[in-house]
């Protein structure tokens, strides 16, 4: 067991190193930061000088090794665009993304479970089938379009909700939160629906099929035979047993919520890490891109590692 954990952690570190290497290999292809950094009246001399200063004239492997060495000392470099330490920028942006992801996850989980249970119980019902079909509409359109349509409807036409941004935020130590102001809370509604819609559908379908499977189990039949009320059977027995896979999947999805908030953040000008990343691509801000990718991979690899270790702890057969 110990050697398995050790091996697994070693592998995870390797994964991180490879992610970094691939990332740096890519950066040479996505554009040139120089033009963004120098103005209209730059000369070839300026271009060469700046390239030398930034180390862009070196092969990507050298750039990568430099990045890793300073990253190990907690230094992720300085943003080309903002001229500030990347770690500081990411720390500023993280609360926005994490709060958005958390609200989306809660939205997806709660509505997904409720609708999943409902559609499982009323399997042949008209409403249940309508819900199932409608939920598919949400995942049959690209996210950016859903976001723009929501803005059009709820901000421009009805004027109920803000069209962009986080509203007013309150600083608690190093963390800015939108949970404590009414404008902060209303600003969360549209983006979290946009971001959580896909996960909501996914969870709903998962709950539905797990429920339908559990309901066929013998112990549910016995419970029915014993004359327990249907409500007790549904919630106390069936739902409880479906929650393990549902929570596992939600946990895994939380990672992708954060990673793929990019589109939602762009549409809603949500000042999180995804928007930062998109800006960084447009500016070819290599230190920001590198740090963001490393952060996301740490998260993914970490979640995977925990899930795998948990599985092994539960099911010894998988240890081979």
Partner 1 sequence: MSVFHRFWDSDFAWDFRHSPVAVVSFLVALLLVLSALFAPLIATINPFEPGNLNLMNGFTAPGTQNAFTGESFILGTDDQGRDVYSTILYGMRISLFVGFAAVALGMLIGVTLGLVAGYFGGWTDAIIMRIADVQLTFPSILVAMLIFGVAKGFTPVEYRDQLAIWVLILSIGLSDWVQFARVVRGATLVEKQKEYVQAARLIGRGAMPILVRHILPNVLSPVLVIATISLALAIIAEATLSFLGVGAPSTQPSLGTLIRIGQNYLFSGEWWILFFPSATLLALALSVNLLGDWLRDALNPKLK
Partner 2 sequence: MFKLTTCTAVALVLASAAVAEKFSWAGTTDPQTMDPHAVNSAPVLGFLNNVYEGLVRRGKDMAVEPALATSWEAIDGGAGWRFTLRQGVTFHDGAAFTADDVLFSYERGSSEVADVRSWFAPVSEVKVVDDYTIDFMTTAPNPLFPDSIANFMIMDRDWAEANNTARPDKEAGNFATLNANGTGAFTLADRQPGLTTTLTPFAGWWDTAEHNITEATFTPIENPATAVAALLSGDVDMINPVPIQDADRVDQRDGTKVIRGIEARVIMLGFGHDHKELKYTSDAGEPNPFQDARVREAVAKAVNVDAILQTIMRGSAESVSQLVSPAMRGYSGAKADRPSFDVEGAKALLAEAGYADGFSFGLKCPNNRYLNDEAVCQAVTSMLAQVGIDAELEAMPVQNYWPELREDNFDMYLLGWSPGTFDHEHPVRFLVSTPNEEKKLGSWNFGGFSNDKVDELLPAIQSEIDETKRQAMIDEVTGIYQSEHAYVPMYVQPLVWGTRDNVELTQRPDNFFLLRWVTVN
Chain residues binding partner 1 by CB under 8 A are 7, 11-12, 14-15, 18-19, 22, 25-26, 28-30, 129, 132-133, 136-137, 139-145, 148, 152, 156, 205, 209, 212-213, 216, 256, 259-260, 262-263, 266, 278, 281, 293, 296-297, 300-301, 304, 318, 320
What are 257's two structure tokens? 């919520």
Nearest approach, Cβ of 238 to partner 1 (angstroms)? 15
Does position 26 bind partner 2 by CB under 8 A?
A: no
Contact with partner 2 (CB under 8 A) among 155, 241, 256, 304: 155
Does position 36 bind partner 2 by CB under 8 A?
A: yes
Q: What is the sign, positive or negative, of the torsion defined by CA atoms of 229, 233, 239, 240?
A: positive
Residues 51-90 that bind partner 2 (CB under 8 A): 53-54, 78, 80-84, 89
Nearest approach, Cβ of 234 to partner 1 (angstroms)? 18
Residue 82 backbone dihedrals phi, psi, to 5 degrees: -100, -15
181 binds, among partner 1, partner 2, none (CB under 5 to 8 A by kind): none
Contact with partner 2 (CB under 8 A) among 2, 3, 41, 140: 41
Nearer to partner 2, 84 or 240 (CB): 84
With contacts defined by CB under 8 A, name the span among 29-37, 115-123, 134-142, 198-206 that binds partner 2. Answer: 29-37
**Residues 96/191, Cβ–Cβ less than 8 Å:** no
Nearest approach, Cβ of 12 to partner 2 (angstroms)? 31
279 binds, among partner 2, partner 1, none (CB under 5 to 8 A by kind): partner 2
Does position 173 bind partner 2 by CB under 8 A?
A: no
Nearest by Cα to 274 from 202, 185, 195, 174: 195
User: What is the size of the binding site for partner 2 (CB under 8 A)?
Assistant: 51
The contact mask relative to partner 2 for 254-283 (x = CB under 8 A, - = no) is: ------------xxxx-x---xx-xx-xxx
Binding site for partner 2 (CB under 8 A): 30-33, 35-46, 49-50, 53-54, 78, 80-84, 89, 92, 148, 151-152, 155-156, 159, 162-165, 266-269, 271, 275-276, 278-279, 281-284
């Amino acid at each position: 067991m110990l050697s398995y954990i050790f091996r697994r952690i070693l592998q995870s570190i390797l994964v991180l190193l490879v992610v970094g290497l691939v990332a740096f290999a890519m950066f040479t292809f996505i554009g040139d930061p120089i033009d963004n950094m120098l103005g209209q009246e730059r000369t070839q001399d300026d271009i060469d000088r700046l390239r030398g200063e930034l180390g862009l004239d070196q092969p990507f492997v050298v750039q990568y090794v430099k990045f890793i060495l300073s990253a190990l000392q907690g230094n992720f470099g300085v943003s080309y665009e903002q001229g500030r330490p990347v770690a500081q920028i990411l720390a500023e942006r993280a609360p926005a993304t994490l709060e958005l992801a958390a609200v989306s996850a809660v939205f997806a989980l709660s509505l997904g479970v409720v609708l999943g249970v409902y559609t499982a119980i009323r399997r042949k019902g008209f409403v249940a089938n309508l819900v199932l079909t409608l939920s598919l509409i949400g995942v049959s359109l690209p996210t950016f379009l859903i976001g723009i349509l929501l803005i059009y409807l709820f901000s421009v036409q009805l004027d109920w909700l803000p069209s962009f941004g986080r509203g007013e935020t309150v600083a608690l130590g190093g963390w800015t939160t939108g949970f404590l102001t009414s404008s902060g809370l209303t600003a969360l509604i549209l983006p979290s629906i946009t971001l959580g819609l896909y996960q909501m559908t996914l969870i709903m379908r998962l709950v539905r099929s797990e429920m339908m499977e559990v309901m066929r189990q013998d112990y549910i039949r016995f419970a029915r035979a014993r004359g327990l009320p249907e409500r007790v059977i549904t919630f106390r027995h069936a739902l409880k047993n479906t929650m393990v896979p549902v929570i596992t999947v939600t946990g895994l999805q939380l990672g992708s919520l954060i990673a793929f908030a990019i589109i939602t953040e762009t549409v809603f000008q949500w000042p999180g890490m995804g928007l930062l990343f998109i800006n960084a691509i447009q500016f070819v801000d290599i230190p920001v891109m590198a740090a963001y990718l490393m952060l996301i991979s740490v998260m993914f690899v970490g979640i995977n590692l925990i899930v795998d270790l948990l599985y092994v702890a539960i099911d010894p057969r998988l240890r081979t």
